[in-house]
Amino acid sequence: MQSEKPYQICTRCVMDTSDPDIEFDDIGQCNHCRDYEQSIRQPQLNKGSENDKIQELITRINTNGKRKKYDCLIGISGGVDSCYVAYLCHKWGLKPLLVHMDNGWNTDIAVKNVKKVVDKLGFDYISYVLDWREFREIQLGFLKSSIVDLEMPTDIAIAACQYQLASKYNIRYLVSGGNYSGEGILPLTWGYHVLKDEKLYRHIVNKYSNTKIRKVPVVGLKGEIYYKFIKGIKTLYPLNLIDYNKDEAREFLKKEFEWQDYGGKHHESKITGFWQSYVMPTKYNMDYRRATYSSQIISGQIKRKEALEKLEDLPYKIDSIEKDKAFIAKKFDISINDFEKYLSLPPKTYKDFPNDKNKIEWFYKVYKKIN
């Protein structure tokens, strides 16, 4: 998926014209840097000191959950961000229910990391296991559609199961490990799955999957409106309220929990690691590291020069690709030839399918203003 624009790279971060929608100003800085400054950094600076912001968050959660068994819910994957958030909630004296959604693609390391954190912190924990046969067919449909957002079914199921459990246990606050320092920059064409577009999701399942959605939980715009406005469930992002350094958090988890590293960002999932490190750059010309490094550059985590040096290396290990392909094909219950055939289909993004992008963006814009 090559850009029609002449090649150009941002003079501040490392985003380039592999993002087809990127724009540059007169000094060569991109729209992602500008949007980060205007929409993320400045509002954060206006919210007061770190201690004040954290205390306000703790008070909100404590007040609502005073007479409840749980005062918040944390989705935990075994990755750095979610494990560190669980630790922070323990440090702050909160009463979270930890939830892990098992979609069948967990690495052994991720599962062990979750267990170590749960056991040491002593929090209640639920493993929400998806119906593998149905989920496999849904995700296989996304593979056959050739859309870059292979993980949309996972993201939608995670949101749905967390909303369901929060509603069941009368929990008002979802505490997320999402953060601007590592995720503040992400082109929409690279990560449309974050919008949880049910219209696009159901279109692909109906057209490309050999299953109906019966057991796998789904939430879209209507569901978001119900849970946010009717049930009053809100998502909080504590890592955006502190000076969060992922490398320091990683080392802390290793020391305190014997937490194990699993490789790159989101590599706690076998399919996500393979997709982001190999398929996205080779098929879609989308090197996910550019977005991650750019977020870290603009948030002061790393230097641009260091990011450029890292980008000179391949995002994947050549000697493991064939083994990974064989594993994933077997997991999908398809031949390696069929898997290769699907990978070689012309690349597509959300723009190639019916979607509710405008409605969803309007909803979040309104929701942000009133919250």
* pLDDT tens digit sequence for 64-88: 999 999 999 999 999 999 999 999 9
Helix%, strand%, coil% for the chain, nearest 5: 55, 10, 35
Q: Residue 115: which of 102, 104, 105, 132 has the closest Cα? A: 102
Lowest mean pLDDT across 19-28, 231-240, 259-268: 259-268
What domains does the chain contain, in order, with CATH numbers? 49-370 (3.40.50.620)
How large is the average pLDDT for residues 36-53?
Answer: 74
The mean pLDDT value of the chain amounts to: 94
Please compute the mean of the pLDDT values over residues 55-65 and round it to a whole number.
96
Is residue 4 a contact partner of residue 17, using CB atoms and an 8 Å limit? no
Q: What is the mean pLDDT of residues 149-168?
A: 98
Single out the residue of 139, 284, 134 nearest to residue 208, CA to CA: 139
The one-character DSSP state at 351 is: G
Is the per-residue pLDDT at 109 higher than 70?
yes
Least confident range of 264-273, 337-346, 351-360: 264-273
Look-up of token digits 């501040």: 12
User: What is the rounded (10 degree) CA torsion for 34, 350, 370, 31?
Assistant: 0
Q: How many CB atoms lie within 10 A of CB 368?
A: 10
Closest CA relative to residue 123, chosen from 98, 88, 87, 102:
98
Answer whether residue 57 shows pLDDT above 80: yes
Strand ranges for the chain from DSSP E:
72-75, 96-102, 124-129, 173-175, 234-236
The answer to whether 217 and 154 have CB atoms below 8 angstroms apart is no
pTM: 0.94
Separation of alpha carbons 64 and 296, rounded Å: 34
Asked if the model's pLDDT at residue 107 lies above 70, the reply is: yes
Look-up of token digits 């989101």:
266
Q: What is the pLDDT of residue 87?
A: 98
Grade residue 49 by pLDDT with cuts at 50, 70 and 90: confident
Q: How far is Cα 16 from Cα 312, in angstroms, rounded to an integer?
A: 14
- Tell me the β-bridge partners of 235: 174
* Residues linked to residue 30 through DSSP beta bridges, in sequence order: 24
CB distance 184 to 38 below 8 Å: no
pLDDT tens-digit series, residues 121-134: 999 999 999 999 99
The DSSP symbol for 104 reads S
Mean pLDDT computed over 353-364: 97
On whether the CB atoms of residues 156 and 196 are closer than 8 A, the answer is: yes
Helix (H, G, I), strand (E, B) or coil at 228: helix
Q: Is the pLDDT of residue 51 over 90?
A: no
- In this prediction, residues 332-359 reach a mean pLDDT of 98
Is the Cβ–Cβ distance between 103 and 154 less than 8 Å?
Answer: yes
Write out the two tokens for 326.
Answer: 């064989």
Residue 166, both tokens = 């929060």
- Per-residue model confidence (pLDDT) at position 50: 80
pLDDT at 119 over 90: yes
Residue 3: pLDDT above 70? no
- Residue 275 and residue 287 in contact, taking contact as beta carbons nearer than 8 Å: no
Tell me, what's the pLDDT at 43?
Answer: 59
Sheet holding 124-129, edge to edge: 124-129, 96-102, 72-75, 173-175, 234-236
Alpha helices in the chain (DSSP H): 31-35, 42-45, 50-64, 80-91, 108-121, 132-145, 152-168, 180-183, 198-208, 221-225, 246-257, 270-274, 280-283, 288-298, 304-311, 318-332, 336-343, 357-370
User: Do the Cβ atoms of 220 and 198 come closer than 8 Å?
Assistant: yes
- The answer to whether residue 266 scores a pLDDT higher than 80 is no
Rounded to an integer, the average pLDDT of 249-258 is 97
- Greatest alpha-carbon span in the chain: 60
Residues 6+ apart with CB under 8 A from 167: 227, 231, 233
3-class secondary-structure state, position 264: coil
Give the per-residue SS3 of 158-209.
Answer: HHHHHHHHHHHCCCCEEECCCCHHHHCCCCCCCCHHHHCCHHHHHHHHHHHC
Local confidence band at 337 (pLDDT 50, 70, 90 cut-offs): very high
Does the pLDDT of residue 265 top 90, yes or no? Answer: no
Closest C-alpha among 178, 181, 123, 179 to residue 155: 178
User: Six-digit token pair at 202?
Assistant: 């159901």
177-222: per-residue pLDDT in tens? Answer: 999 988 999 999 999 999 999 999 999 999 999 999 999 999 999 9
What is the tens place of the pLDDT at every residue in 282-333? 999 999 999 999 999 999 999 999 999 999 999 999 999 999 999 999 999 9
